[in-house]
Amino acid sequence: MERPRVGELAPPDRLLMGPGPSEVHPRVLRAMSTPLVGHLDPSFIDVMDDVQDLLRYAFQTENQWTIPVSGTGSASMEAAIGNLTEPGDTVLVPGNGYFGERMAAMVTRAGGDPVFVEAPWGEPLDPVAVEDAFTEYRPDLFAFVHAETSTGAKQPNVPELTAIAHDHDALVIADTVTSLGGVELRVDEWGIDVAYAGPQKCLSCPPGASPLTLNDRAMAKICTRDTPVRSWYLDLSLLQEYWGDERAYHHTAPITNVYALREALRLVAEEGIENRWERHRRMAGALKAGVEAMGLELNPEDDWWLPSLNAVRLPEGVDDDAVIAFLLEEYGIEVAGGLGDLAGDVLRIGCMGHSARPGNVLTLVAALGDALE
Ligand code: PLP
């Protein structure tokens, strides 16, 4: 066989203003070039402790069970859904975006029965509809998406939704992939039992180690399951041996990703979580004002506008693919088009983490103006 001749890696210079990944902070990139130690090295155990403490701060939780799951956001998602869903469980999932459908697919694979609470794509769930769905289906679990990346809609009134679920004795799983570290999120105060996230959005960290937190009620359900979790890799009762007190081998942790997450979370703690939420609101607010000044509108109403992901309605007759290609080719800016019910109608512009800075917003607004001329 001939030896392949592959050139040195030279990715193009991009400004990442899409639905993720976002720009990675230079300090995080530096952390990733730090030499490896073993995943059971005493110094790495300290790193694990740091990451767990920092994650609790970002999630605003006291949950003991707060860890990075090895893998992308879908791994922490499947860890949450797959561990909490037992065969025969009914799980209420949202019908207002792309990621509710992924939740349903994971529920089915875990042997559960997904049922939907419907709302139009781009709108949040209505607590009345959630209450009605509880009466109709009596679900064991309720999962919702706090920040729907596919539509740019934020789920408001979270405490109201969790109260409904708890009144019906169900546990609550929140998808916080596009909110953790960028949009107000208070896991304990809001009564969320389980939350999962991804590092590549508002934490501005490469994908690979994905945050997950569970309270004692959720862990009790997992530890008293009648049947083992279908995935060995994501079985939290086994992962407990590594991330719990024993620190015993389960699998080789992605050490470099854990270093990266630690540095990204240190940046969150240095900035202060409330300040960080405020910065995202301010930067995305400038972006919103800029596109509105061009005569464009955001798809979601202000009450459920999601600062980290701005779904901008395109004028009639404008081809989204052409705008996306123009921004990439002429300005090196990455944005994305709509999905599902919003395909072809909106541009999805991220304002996340290290990308959420004044110069980036100005560049994006100017480039979009040029694209639409
Ligand atoms: N949930 C939401 C809301 C997301 O936006 C994403 C990714 O964009 C995921 C889950 C899945 O994460 P990943 O693509 O990192 O596996």
ipTM associated with this complex:
0.99
- pLDDT score at 279: 98
**What is the C-alpha separation between 89 and 113, in angstroms, rounded?**
6
Residue segments in the chain with a per-residue pLDDT below the cut of 70: none
Q: What is the distance between the alpha carbons of residues 113 and 194, in angstroms, rounded to a whole number?
A: 19
- The backbone torsions φ and ψ at residue 44, rounded to the nearest 5 degrees and listed phi first, read -75, -30
Instruction: Report pLDDT for 13.
Output: 96
CA-to-CA separations, 137 to 113, 140, 178, 334, in angstroms, rounded: 10, 9, 28, 42
The string of pLDDT tens digits covering residues 214-273 is 999 999 999 999 999 999 999 999 998 999 989 999 999 999 999 999 999 999 999 999
Any atom of ligand 1 within 6 Å of the Cβ of 121: no
Which atom belonging to ligand 1 lies closest to the Cα atom of 210?
15
The reply to whether ligand 1 has any atom less than 6 angstroms from the CB of 182 is no
φ and ψ of 333, to 5 deg: -100, 130
State if residue 207 touches ligand 1 by the CB under 6 angstroms criterion. yes
Q: CA-CA distance, 87 to 89, in Å (whole number)?
A: 6
Q: Does 74 sit in the ligand 1 pocket, CB within 6 Å?
A: yes
Q: DSSP 3-state assignment of 104?
A: helix
Phi, psi of 235, rounded to the nearest 5 degrees = -70, 110
pLDDT at 54: 98
Instruction: Write down the pLDDT at residue 269.
Output: 98
- pLDDT recorded at residue 137: 98
Where helices occur in the chain by DSSP H, the ranges are 26-32, 42-59, 73-84, 98-109, 127-137, 158-167, 216-223, 236-243, 255-271, 273-293, 320-331, 358-372
| Lookup: tokens for 244 | 């719990």
Asked if 337 and 324 count as a contact pair (C-beta separation under 8 A), the reply is yes
pLDDT at residue 33, rounded to an integer: 98
Measured CA to CA, the distance from residue 96 to residue 201 in angstroms comes to 21
Quick one: which atom of ligand 1 is closest to the CA of 200? 15
Mutate to test the pocket of ligand 1, among 70, 81, 99 (most ligand atoms within 8 A of CB): 99
Indicate whether residue 177 lines ligand 1 (CB < 6 A).
Answer: yes
Q: Tell me: the pLDDT tens digits for 72-112?
A: 999 999 999 999 999 999 999 999 999 999 999 999 999 99
This prediction's pTM: 0.98
What is the rounded CA–CA span in Å between residue 75 and residue 233? 10
The whole-number pLDDT of residue 216 equals 97
Q: Is 72 in the pocket of ligand 1 (CB under 6 A)?
A: yes
Task: Provide DSSP, 331-368.
Answer: H-EE-EE--GGGTTTEEEEE--GGG-SHHHHHHHHHHH
Distance 339 CA to ligand 1 centre (A): 13
Top mutation candidate among 101, 144, 177 for ligand 1, by most atoms within 8 Å of CB: 177
**For ligand 1, is residue 78 a contact (CB within 6 Å)?**
no
